[in-house]
Amino acid sequence: MELSIMNATDTTEQARPVFPFTAIVGQEEMKLALILNVIDPKIGGVMIMGDRGTGKSTTVRALVDLLPEIQVVSNDPFNSDPKDPELMSEEVREKIQRNETLEVTTTKINMVDLPLGATEDRVCGTIDIEKALTEGVKAFEPGLLAKANRGILYVDEVNLLDDHLVDVLLDSAASGWNTVEREGISICHPARFILVGSGNPEEGELRPQLLDRFGMHAQIGTVKAPDLRVQIVEQRATFDEEPAAFRSSYQESQDRLTEKLTAARTLLPEVEMSYALRVEISEVCSELDVDGLRGDIVTNRAAKALAAFEGRTEVTPQDIFRVITLCLRHRLRKDPLETIDEGDRVQEVFGRVFGFQEI
């Protein structure tokens, strides 16, 4: 098999200017969760809950500029990886088996917005039954899950989305595949994406069994410090007046962060965590009575991603401290009589098990 590689056309200015990620003030917890998921998509996505007007959507959309480039097969609706069979469409795999030359292009990781009113057909894709029966071909119209493969799928107000659709999204995100079945005809394609959801807790919480499926959970609130509020307002006014000039002033910091993310993705497979630290993570999960093993797995992955982000190949207790609340707070059983916040409970147990306090 041969690969014919060409570069995608660069577009320096987007149709709708995006606020620079490095210009966002505060909300460090949310930004860290998003960055770690870009480094290791297997963390399982992020659920961001917070008040209205706290920059949830702005921050997620700002992530687009930072996303590293990947190689994809040209004109393939599934963003197929030219080298990894697990991330290829059936058509691409068949071409490889026939030793055909694949035309490959380099493009930024894609981010897809899922509208609240989307139907299951729009999300999963549709099969043209008539064409399949009369012409004997699998006539498949790809949906948003196909477009989101190897990218990010963003659902604003995810807590208002139909539970059935949330189930479909989480199943695909966990398995990495989307299967569409109609009248005995089945189509399966790769759908490995980072699921990012945001919502306002006043408008309702997700069911616990669905919330548990998100790798990380970031809670954000309105900035209280008057000087920071003034800074945010001034930045927004400047961006609205001169978006191109504002973006240009942050281009250097944006490029540095993109380079750091790309390096972290490369370094990640080399990052090690000692057996003793893995045991202590599981001890924290056990003491907090976390159901299942997702909490243990996600905390391990997130700590390694953070070490890679900082250019290290060895996980430290400080790394675990910085990510464990994000990974576990939404997995704790709700106690209506409990006076302590879920995040504080996680940190309290962490400190007791690790004998560790924040520096």
CATH number for the domain spanning 135: value is 3.40.50.300
Range of the domain at 301: 269-354
Query: Of residues 150, 192, 265, 294, which has the active-site annotation?
Result: 294
Reported pTM: 0.83
CATH number of 338's domain = 1.10.8.80
> Quick check: 268 and 308 in contact, CB under 8 A?
yes
Using the predicted structure, report yes or no on whether residue 203 has a pLDDT greater than 90: no
- Is 236 among the catalytic positions? no
289 in the same domain as 181: no
Last residue of a domain, one of 190, 220, 250: 220
Count of domains observed in the chain: 2
pLDDT tens readout for residues 10-64: 444 445 788 899 888 878 889 999 999 999 988 988 999 887 777 788 888 888 8
Cα 160 to Cα 277: distance, rounded to the nearest angstrom:
38
The reply to whether 316 falls in a domain is yes
209 in the same domain as 322: no
Where helices occur in the chain by DSSP H, the ranges are 28-39, 56-62, 90-97, 120-124, 129-135, 144-147, 163-175, 208-211, 226-241, 243-249, 251-267, 275-287, 294-309, 317-328, 342-354
Phi first, then psi, for residue 5 (nearest 5°) are: -105, 135
Taking residues 332-339, report their average pLDDT.
Answer: 63
Using the predicted structure, report yes or no on whether residue 146 has a pLDDT greater than 80: yes
Cα 254 to Cα 164: distance, rounded to the nearest angstrom:
37
208 in the same domain as 64: yes
- Torsion angle of the four alpha carbons 318, 323, 327, 329, in this order, in degrees rounded to the nearest 10: 80
The reply to whether 208 falls in a domain is yes
Identify the pLDDT of residue 15. Answer: 54
Q: Which of 93-97, 129-133, 266-270, 328-332 has the lowest mean pLDDT?
A: 129-133
Which of 150-154, 158-162, 224-228 ranks highest by mean pLDDT?
150-154
Residue 270: other Cβ atoms inside 10 A: 12
Of the pLDDT bands very low, low, confident and very high (cuts 50, 70, 90), residue 319 is very high
Phi first, then psi, for residue 224 (nearest 5°) are: -95, -30
Q: How does strand 177-182 pair with strand 185-190?
A: antiparallel
Of the pLDDT bands very low, low, confident and very high (cuts 50, 70, 90), residue 191 is confident
The residue type of 197 is G
Q: Which of 96-100, 186-190, 312-316, 334-338 has the lowest mean pLDDT?
A: 334-338
The token duo for 315 is: 């996980």
Taking residues 289-298, report their average pLDDT.
Answer: 89
pLDDT tens readout for residues 274-286: 999 999 999 999 9
Of the pLDDT bands very low, low, confident and very high (cuts 50, 70, 90), residue 186 is confident
Identify the pLDDT of residue 14. Answer: 46
Using the predicted structure, report yes or no on whether residue 320 has a pLDDT greater than 60: yes
